[in-house]
Amino acid sequence: MENNDYKVIPDKLAGKTVEEVAIATHAVVIKFTDGTFLDVYSTEPIKTSTNKLES
């Protein structure tokens, strides 16, 4: 697998609406309603949890 490094700019994600999330042992993929994706991959298992964000 080719290793690419990308920089995620939080301001570009602000205001987007999440349509779907897929979570696997080594990846998390977030699909937004505008058709874009945020993919996070790791060679180590990714720990995930669900929490409520407080403003």
Q: In angstroms, rounded to a whole number, what is the distance separating the alpha carbons of residues 41 and 55?
A: 28
Confidence of residue 44 (pLDDT cuts 50, 70, 90): very high
Domain for residue 52, yes or no? no
Query: How many domains is the chain built from?
Result: 1
pLDDT mean over 23-30 = 94
* Range(s) of the domain holding residue 12: 1-46
Q: What is the pTM of this model?
A: 0.74
12 part of a folded domain? yes
Q: What's the pLDDT score for residue 15?
A: 93
Whether residue 35 has pLDDT greater than 60: yes
Residue 54 falls within a domain, yes or no? no
17 Rama class: left (phi>0) / alpha (psi -120 to 50) / beta? beta
- Is 21 part of a structural domain of the chain? yes
Whether residue 37 lies inside any domain: the answer is yes
